Structure 1
Amino acid sequence: MTPPQSVPPELAALRSPAAVRARSHQVLDYVQAGRSPHFTLDLAALDAVADYVAGVTRQDYPGLDIPYHSRWRHFDAGGVARWQALAGRLEGVDAAERARTMIDLAVVSVLLDAGAGDAWRYHEEDTGLTIGRSEGLAVASVNMFAAGGFSTDPSQPLRADAAVLVALDAGTLGRFFQVSEENPLVGLAGRAALLNRLGAAVAARPDIFGPGGRPGRLYDTLAPQARIGRLPAEAILKALLDGLSIIWPSGLEVAGVALGDVGRHPAVRVDDLSDQLVPFHKLSQWLTYSLLEPFEASGLAITELDALTALPEYRNGGLLIDLGVIMPRAPLDPAVKHRVESEMVVEWRALTVALMDGLADRVRERLGLDASEFPLAKLLQGGTWTAGRRIAAERRPPAGPPPLAIDADGTVF
C-alpha cells in the first residue's frame, strides 16, 4: 500500500507519524527561539501539568489499569456496555468477521466525532440517558449502526457499506442524531459529506477495502502483513492515510495531491513541494488508536504504539494553555473563533504534538511506569484528554469550552 507513483515523494513522506512528530518539533524550536507572534513557552510548567495529569489518572484508574484512548471508551458512556450488547448478536461468526464489524463501527463513529458544540444532546430511549459532546456522538453512532443505518443488507445490519455511505444525506443523519432547531449539531452537513467521501474512497480502493468497499475489509488487507502475529501500529495508520487522505473536504491540496489534515507554518523551510507543510492527521491517528482493539480482538498483537503521536486537538492543546506551558502573547477572546488552517491554530496543534512527548516521560516517572506499560495511547486516556476537559470546566464553567475557540466544519477536531 504505497502511495501512487503520481504522488511526489516529498508529499508522500508527509503521510507518516514520523513526519508529524519531526515537523511539530520544528515548530516547537521556532517558538522556543522567540520567533512566534502568537505564543511563548514556559517549559518549566510541564512539571505542574505532569502532576495534574498523574493525579487525574490515579483518580480515574486507581489500579493504573488504563485502557487505550479510543472510541471504544465512549461507547460505554453512562456505564452502559453497548458494544458488548451488540457483540452478543455476532454469535457464530468467526474472529475475522467480528474484527471487520468492529472496524466498520469504529471508522464511521470516529469520522462522526468532531466537536458537537455546546447545545447538542442525544437522548437514548432504552436507557433514559441524555448525553452530549463526544460521548453523545458515540452513543448516537453506535445506535445508528445497531439499527442497520450503514448497511445495504437488512439481514446483516451490523456492517458499513460504501453504497450506503455514499448516499447518506444530512437529513437522514440528522434524524438518527436527533438534530432539530432546538437541538443543533455543529457541522451536520460536513459530517454527512465526510461519510459520503468515505464511501467513495473505500469503493475506489478494493486493494485496501475489498470489492464493493467496506471499511472492515482493512482487516483482510493488514492481517496477512503481521509477522508471527505482530502488526506495527504504524501499518494501520499508513493504510488509512493511503486510502482515506482524499476524504477530508477542508484538507490541504498541493500539486493536485490531497494531503488531508496538513497545515502551513513558516517554521518549516525546505526546498521542495513540502515547504512550510506541517502534517497532523488527527482523525486518522484517532481512528488508528480506535482500531487497536479490533485487531487485538482477532488475536493479533499491535506493536510500536509510540510511533504514533499525541492527538493535536483542543483538549490536549487546551490543557497546555490552561496550565501555562503554551502562553498566548495576546489575551484570547473566547468570542473570536480562529480558523483551523490559520497559522495560530497550526502552531498550537504542532506545539501540542511536540510537548506531549516530553510530558509523557514526566507522567510515567510520577506513575512509576515505563513506556511499554504507559504508551501515548494510555497517556491520552489516563490522562491528558480528561485533564484538558476538567481544567477547561474549572476555568470556563459550566460548559468548559477550549481556551482557544476554533472555527471548524466538523471534519478536523
Structure 2
Amino acid sequence: MRPEATAAAALLTPEAVRERAQELYGLGLDHRLQGWLVQPEAMAATADLVAEVVRANYPDLQVPFHARWRHFAAGGHDRWAALRARLPEDAAERARAAFDLVILSVLLDAGAGMAWHYREAATGDEYSKSEGLAVASLAMFADGLFGPGRADPERLTDLTAEDLALGFQAGPENPLVGLDGRADLLQRLGRTLIAAGMDRPGALFDLLAAEAVDGALPARAILVALLRHLGPIWPGREVLEGVNLGDCWRHPGIRRADATAGLIPFHKLSQWLAYSLVEPLEEAGIRVTGLDALTGLPEYRNGGLFLDMGVLRPREEGILAREHAPGDILVVEWRALTVALLDAIAPMVRARLGLAAEDFPLARVLEGGTWHAGRRLARERRADGGPPLKVVSDGTVF
C-alpha cells in the first residue's frame, strides 16, 4: 500500500489542498458558503492590477520564484551571498546550510503584527513584517543563536521566547505577535529532529536528494517530505490515525465517506517552505519539476487582494471590523477561496503578460504580482497597511 493510501497521509499532499479548496469555491459560486459571496465578475479588474504590478516590479518579466530568499535581499543587500561566502565549497554542505537557514526563517515567518519593526545593525535600515522577520532571522543564524554555523537540534529545544525577543528587538515598545508560539515551534522542531535521528534541519536535503531520479525531483515530493518528517512540530489541532495534520481545519462543506470528512488542509507555512527549498536544491544540481503541483499560499496578502478588489464580499456587515480565530468558518472559507482564486487568476495574468504557463508558473505569479498587489492595496486603503480581515495569530499559521 502506498503511504498516501491512508486517510491521514492523503491530507498531507498539495492535491488535497487544491481539491478541497476547489470544493468550497464551488459552493461559493453557488452562493452556499456561510461567510462570503463570490463575485467572479471582479476577477478581470483584479487580473489587470496583478499584471500591472508584475510589469512595475519586473519590467523584463524575469520574475524569480516566490521564496524566502527574496526577503533576505530586502533593501538591495544580498545578505545570503555574504553568509554563503563563509561556508565550505562543498555543494551539499552549502545546501544543508541553506536548508538550515530557510527552514528556521520560514517557521519564524508568521504574521508579525502591524506595530513591530527591526533595525539592522550593519546598515541602520529598518524593516517590518516579512522582510523584517527575514533579516532578523538571518542575523540570528549568522550570530550563532541556533548553533555554531548551523541549526543544532539540542540548541533549538532550549530556545525561549526571551531569546527570540532579544534577536527580534521585540518588547513592550516594539511588540511582536506570537513570540511564544514561535519559540514553541522551534522547540518542537528540535525535539522532532532528535527523535528522528536527524542532526540538523539540513539533513532533509540528503533525504530529498536520495529521492531524485536522474537528477530530477518533483516539487510535490518536497512538500510531502516536509509534512511527513516535520509534521510533529505543529501544535496539536486535528489528529487523524495518530497523525498530526498541522495546518488543517474543519468545514461542513467538505463531504467524504471516510475519516477525512469535514477536513480541509492548507499547509501554508510548509508550502512556503517547499517553494523556498527549490533554489538550494537546484543550486546543488537537483532539477525541481512540476512546480505548479504546489498551490497558492492562503495568507493575508493573497487573500486580502481578493477582498480589497471585491471578488469576495462578506455576507454579514461588520465582519471586517472584528477579530477572528484561524479555525473560524469565515477564515477557513477565506483561505480556501484564496487557494482556488489564485489558480483561477494565474492564466488570466499570463494572458495579459503574453507568457506561457511553463515560463510563468504559479510561483512566479505569486512573487511578481498577487502578493505585492495585496500589499499595495493594503497600504492604499488602511493606515497601518494591515489586511482587510483581522485574524488572531499564534505565530504558527499566517
TM bucket normalised to smaller: over 0.9
- C-alpha separation in 1, matches of 2:79 and 2:232: 31
Query: What whole-Å deviation, never above 9, does each CA across 1:261-318 have from its counterpart, x for those lacking one?
Result: 0011111111211111001000000000010111011011110000000001111011
In structure 1, what is the equivalent of residue 174 of structure 2? 183
- C-alpha separation in 2, matches of 1:224 and 1:108: 22
Q: Which runs of 5+ in 2 are unaligned?
A: none
In structure 1, what is the equivalent of residue 77 of structure 2? 80
Q: 1:51 to 1:332 in 2, by over 3 A?
A: farther
Counterpart residue identity of residue 318, structure 1:
G
Counterpart residue identity of residue 391, structure 2:
I
- C-alpha separation in 2, matches of 1:252 and 1:371: 35
Q: Is contact 2:219–2:291 with CA below 8 Å preserved after alignment? A: yes
Query: What whole-Å deviation, never above 9, does each CA across 1:41-83 have from its counterpart, x for those lacking one?
Result: 1112111111000000000000011001110000011111110
Work out whether 1:15 is the aligned partner of 2:15: no
- C-alpha separation in 2, matches of 1:97 and 1:77: 25
Q: Is contact 2:321–2:390 with CA below 8 Å preserved after alignment? A: yes
Q: Give 3-state SS (helix, strand or coil) of 1:89's partner.
A: coil
- C-alpha separation in 1, matches of 2:240 and 2:222: 24
In structure 1, what is the equivalent of residue 259 of structure 2? 273
Q: Which of 184, 195, 210 is the equivalent residue of 1:204?
A: 195
In structure 1, what is the equivalent of residue 388 of structure 2? 403
- C-alpha separation in 1, matches of 2:332 and 2:91: 41
Q: Give 3-state SS (helix, strand or coil) of 2:261's partner.
A: coil
- C-alpha separation in 1, matches of 2:236 and 2:361: 31
- C-alpha separation in 2, matches of 1:285 and 1:52: 25
Q: Is contact 1:99–1:294 with CA below 8 Å preserved after alignment? A: yes
Instruction: Give, in angstroms, the shift of residue 205 of structure 1.
Output: 1.8
Q: Is contact 1:40–1:326 with CA below 8 Å preserved after alignment? A: yes
Q: Which of 81, 87, 90 is the equivalent residue of 1:94?
A: 90
Q: Is contact 2:159–2:187 with CA below 8 Å preserved after alignment? A: yes
Work out whether 1:304 is the aligned partner of 2:290: yes
In structure 2, what is the equivalent of residue 251 of structure 1? 237
Moved more, 29-38 or 344-353: 29-38
Q: Which of 122, 141, 160 is the equivalent residue of 2:118?
A: 122
| 1:131-280 map, 5 Å | 131-151=127-147, 157-206=148-197, 210=198, 213-249=199-235, 251-280=237-266
Q: Give 3-state SS (helix, strand or coil) of 2:365's partner.
A: helix
In structure 2, what is the equivalent of residue 154 of structure 1? none
Superposition TM-score, scaled by structure 2 size: 0.97
Percent same amino acid among aligned pairs?
A: 55
| 1:358-397 map, 5 Å | 358-397=344-383
Query: What whole-Å deviation, never above 9, does each CA across 1:223-262 have from its counterpart, x for those lacking one?
Result: 1221121111111101000011221115322354311000
Query: What whole-Å deviation, never above 9, does each CA across 1:133-178 have from its counterpart, x for those lacking one?
Result: 1100000000000001111xxxxx3211111111111111111111
Superposition TM-score, scaled by structure 1 size: 0.94
Instruction: Give, in angstroms, the shift of residue 12 of structure 1.
Output: 1.2
- C-alpha separation in 2, matches of 1:190 and 1:368: 43
In structure 1, what is the equivalent of residue 64 of structure 2? 67
Q: Is contact 2:107–2:269 with CA below 8 Å preserved after alignment? A: yes
Query: What whole-Å deviation, never above 9, does each CA across 1:103-150 have from its counterpart, x for those lacking one?
Result: 000000000000111111111111011111110000000000000111
Moved more, 312-321 or 225-234: 225-234
Q: Is contact 1:250–1:411 with CA below 8 Å preserved after alignment? A: no
- C-alpha separation in 1, matches of 2:243 and 2:272: 23
Paired residue total = 397
| 1:297-336 map, 5 Å | 297-336=283-322
Alignment RMSD, CA only?
Answer: 1.4
- C-alpha separation in 1, matches of 2:238 and 2:194: 22
Counterpart residue identity of residue 252, structure 1:
E
- C-alpha separation in 1, matches of 2:241 and 2:93: 39
- C-alpha separation in 1, matches of 2:152 and 2:30: 50
Counterpart residue identity of residue 389, structure 2:
L
Work out whether 1:337 is the aligned partner of 2:334: no
- C-alpha separation in 2, matches of 1:103 and 1:376: 22
Instruction: Give, in angstroms, the shift of residue 359 of structure 1.
Output: 0.3
Q: Which runs of 5+ in 1 are unaligned?
A: 152-156
- C-alpha separation in 2, matches of 1:205 and 1:8: 23
Work out whether 1:40 is the aligned partner of 2:31: no
In structure 1, what is the equivalent of residue 55 of structure 2? 58
Q: Is contact 1:41–1:327 with CA below 8 Å preserved after alignment? A: yes
Instruction: Give, in angstroms, the shift of residue 354 of structure 1.
Output: 0.8
Q: Give 3-state SS (helix, strand or coil) of 1:128's partner.
A: coil
Q: Is contact 2:114–2:385 with CA below 8 Å preserved after alignment? A: no
- C-alpha separation in 2, matches of 1:131 and 1:45: 33
Instruction: Give, in angstroms, the shift of residue 334 of structure 1.
Output: 4.5
Query: What whole-Å deviation, never above 9, does each CA across 1:297-351 have from its counterpart, x for those lacking one?
Result: 1011110000000001111011001101111112345541100011110000000
- C-alpha separation in 2, matches of 1:331 and 1:379: 32
Q: Give 3-state SS (helix, strand or coil) of 1:244's partner.
A: helix
Q: Is contact 1:109–1:138 with CA below 8 Å preserved after alignment? A: yes
Q: Which of 103, 106, 109 is the equivalent residue of 1:107?
A: 103
